[in-house]
Amino acid sequence: MNDINPAPTSADSGISAEERQWGMFAHLSALAGGIVTAGWAGSIGCFIGPLVIWLMKKETMPFVDDQAKEALNFNITVAIIFFVLFVMTLVTLGIGALLTVPLMILVGIAWLVFTIIATIKANQGERYRYPLTLRLVK
């Protein structure tokens, strides 16, 4: 018998494989949106995917409802942070870029890491909570 770290079944976590997959897609769609739209929409593209998945699945899949809202809230929070840093750069006539550009890079790296962690946790059937996230969509 091979029982070295078996994947959780719906009986183990109480969440069906389909729900886990859609929960994972909610987080991955933010990553895909960020990659696809980085050139022209920036962080706005990061919350379109979770929004669409949340609107499609919120009534039928409670786990997906939870995870898509979590991804949506996190990506809205990151978009707000990037917007504030951009405005700070403009207000200081570019001099603030010495501070804001490194902060944008750090926030971008944290966004990538937390999105990957959330994707893995959702695939395992665990409800993931992003740190320091504004809960705007309830």
Task: Answer whether residue 28 is part of any domain.
Answer: yes
* Per-residue model confidence as pLDDT tens digits over 38-78: 655 666 778 888 999 999 999 999 999 999 999 999 999 99
By residue range, what is the domain housing residue 98? 14-123
What's the confidence (pLDDT) of residue 11? 46
Task: Answer whether residue 33 is part of any domain.
Answer: yes
* Per-residue model confidence as pLDDT tens digits over 76-86: 999 899 999 99
Task: Answer whether residue 66 is part of any domain.
Answer: yes
What's the confidence (pLDDT) of residue 45? 75
* Per-residue model confidence as pLDDT tens digits over 4-45: 654 444 445 688 999 999 999 999 998 888 888 765 566 677
Task: Answer whether residue 128 is part of any domain.
Answer: no
Under 8 Å between Cβ of 48 and 36: no
What's the confidence (pLDDT) of residue 12? 58
